[in-house]
Amino acid sequence: MAQHDSVIDNANGAAFRADINSALAALFSLNSGASAPTFTVAYMLWADTSTGVLKIRNAANSAWINLGTMASANLGMLPLAGGNLTGAVNDKGFTVAANATTTDIWTGGNFCTLTGAAVTFTDVADAPIADAWRWVRSNAAHTLTNNANIQVQGNANLTLAAGDMMLWHAITTTTFEVWIFKDDGTAVVGSSNPVTTRVVTDTSDIVLALAAAGTQSNVGSTFSVNIPATGYIELAAFAGRILNNATASVHKTCFGIRIGTTNYWFGQGSENGTFNVKSCIDSDTTASAYVEINGSPFYAKSATTIDGATPVIDIVALGVPTGVQTVQFIAGYQTNTVTLKGTVKTTRATLAFVTT
C-alpha cells in the first residue's frame, strides 16, 4: 500500500531517491490505501483497501467512481461471454420512428415502441447479429408486408392496431420473422392459423410443487379464454428467474395449464401433456444457483440439449375443454425443488391459443 502527493521535493541524494521511490510505489500500487489519497487529479486510480473496490477519479476531480471489486474476476463485471448476475437487470425501453424500410428496432434495447404515422413495412434495419430478438409495440395501424425480407405470422400481410405487440426474430441479419400478439386478445386477422394470446405475470416467490406427483403451483391469476375446437396451446415466451434449492443435482422446471381439476403440461410429441424432462427448463447441478430467462421464445430442453421445439398442448389429443374456459397457468419441478423468484425478476409467460 502506498500513496504520494506526486511532488518530488528538492533534497539531497538519498532523500531525493526515497521520494522518487515513494512516488513510483504509489503509481505501481494504484495509490492503494484504506483512505482516499489527499492529492487527486482527474482520472487517477485508487485501490481502496478498506472496501476492496478499485475506483477512478471523475473528470471534474470532484468524486470517486467505482470500477469494480478487486478480489473478483473481471472486477466483478459480466464478461462478454456472459455469466450469472446477482441482481435484477432493468431493460429500459426506447422509441423509434416508423419507416417503411429503415426502422431500427435493434439498437436501443430489447423493447421499443413505434412512433409516427402508420406505414407499410416491407423491411427494417439490419439486425446486429443473426438470431437476435426484439419486442416491438405498435402505435398505429401499421401494415406488415409478408415478403422475402419479413415472414409475417400466417404468411400473409397483416394490419396492426395501436397497442399490438410484435416479437421480431432475425433469421439472418437481413431477413426476419415476426409474431403478433393482439392487444385486445383476439385472433390474428389474416393468419392461416388464428391465434389468441394471454400474458401471465407474477411478482411473488413461488416454491414449486412436485409436478411428477400430480401436484402443481399456480402462477399469476386465472384468466378467461376461448379455447378453439381444434389446434394447440403454445408456451410462446417466458421470462423469469428460477432458483435451485440447496441440492447439488439437476433441477428441472415444467409449465402447464389447469382447467377445473385437471392439469395439462406443455410437452413435445408423445410427451405432450405429460410431465417429462423434454418439456422442462433444465437448470444446472449447482446448489442454490439460478437460471434467468429474459422473454425469449421458449424452447424445450432435454438434459443439456435444446431440442428446438416450442412446447405445446394438443387440444384434441388431450381432450382439453374447448369454448370459453377459466385457465390457470401452473408450474412444477421434477426431482429437486426450485423457486420462481418473482420478487427479483417478474415471472412472465405468453400463452398462445392457436386454431388449426
Give pTM, 2 decimals: 0.48
Domain edge (last residue) among 166, 190, 214:
190
**Do 226 and 152 fall within a single domain?**
no
Give me the CATH number covering residue 328: 2.60.120
Separation CA 232–CA 44 (nearest Å): 61
Residue 150 is assigned to a structural domain of this protein: yes
CB 170 within 8 A of CB 132: yes
Buried b (16+ CB within 10 A) or exposed e, 101-124: eebebbeeebbbebeeeebebebb
User: Cβ(140)–Cβ(114) under 8 Å?
Assistant: yes
CB 192 within 8 A of CB 154: yes
| Whether 162 and 253 share a structural domain | no
CA pair distance 112, 121, nearest whole angstrom: 16
Cell of 272: 405432450
Indicate if 185 and 204 belong to the same structural domain: no
Contact criterion met (CB below 8 Å) for 264 and 231: no
Burial of 61 from C-beta contacts in 10 A (0-12 / 13-18 / 19+): exposed
Q: What is the pLDDT of residue 300?
A: 46
- Structural domains counted in the chain: 3
Tell me if 273 sits within 8 A of 313, measured CB to CB: yes
Cell numbers 504509489 correspond to 26
Which sign, positive or negative, has the C-alpha torsion 229, 231, 232, 236?
A: negative
Domain of 312, in residue numbers: 196-355
d(CA 219, CA 342): 10
Mean pLDDT, each 10-residue run in order, the chain (356 residues):
69 74 74 86 89 92 92 84 78 92 92 95 94 94 90 84 93 91 77 75 91 85 89 84 79 87 77 54 70 61 46 87 92 84 89 85
Query: Is 299 part of a structural domain of the chain?
Result: yes
Please give the DSSP secondary-structure letter assigned to residue 65: E
Q: Same domain, yes or no, for 48 and 118?
A: no
165 phi-psi bin (left φ>0, alpha ψ -120 to 50, beta other): beta
Same domain, 223 and 328: yes
CA distances from 13 to 26, 79, 299, 336, 343 (A): 20, 48, 73, 71, 65
Q: Is residue 8 part of a domain?
A: no
- CB–CB of 149/175 below 8 Å? yes
Q: Are residues 200 and 292 in the same domain?
A: yes
The reply to whether 305 and 205 lie within a common domain is yes
Whether residue 226 sits in one domain with residue 174: no
**DSSP notation for 27-60:** HHTTT-BSS--SS--TT-EEEETTTTEEEEE-TT
Whether 15 and 24 have beta carbons less than 8 Å apart is answered as no
Query: Helix (H, G, I), strand (E, B), or coil: what is residue 93?
Result: coil
302 in the same domain as 216: yes
Are 71 and 125 members of one domain? no
End residue of a domain, out of 21, 47, 76: 76
Please give the pLDDT value at position 304.
38
83 burial type by CB count under 10 A (0-12 exposed, 13-18 middle, 19+ buried)? exposed
Q: What does the H/E/C string look like for 221-289? A: CCEEEEECCCEEEEEEEEEEEEEECCCCCCCEEEEEEEECCEEEECECHHHCECCCHHHEEECCCCCCC
The alpha carbon of 45 is separated from its chain's Cα centroid by a whole number of angstroms, namely 34
Q: What pLDDT shows up at residue 162?
A: 93
Is residue 5 a part of any domain in this protein?
Answer: no
Q: Is residue 37 part of a domain?
A: yes
Task: Check whether residue 57 and residue 42 sit in a common domain.
Answer: yes
Do 221 and 281 fall into the same domain? yes
Is residue 160 domain-resident?
A: yes
Give the pLDDT score at 132.
92
Distance CA 282, CA 335 (A): 11
Asked whether 282 and 306 are in contact (CB, 8 A), the reply is no
84 lies in some domain: no
Q: How far apart are CA 138 and CA 161, in angstroms?
A: 7
CB 164 within 8 A of CB 195: no
Q: Assess if residue 155 is contained within a domain.
A: yes
Contact 208, 339 (CB under 8 A): yes
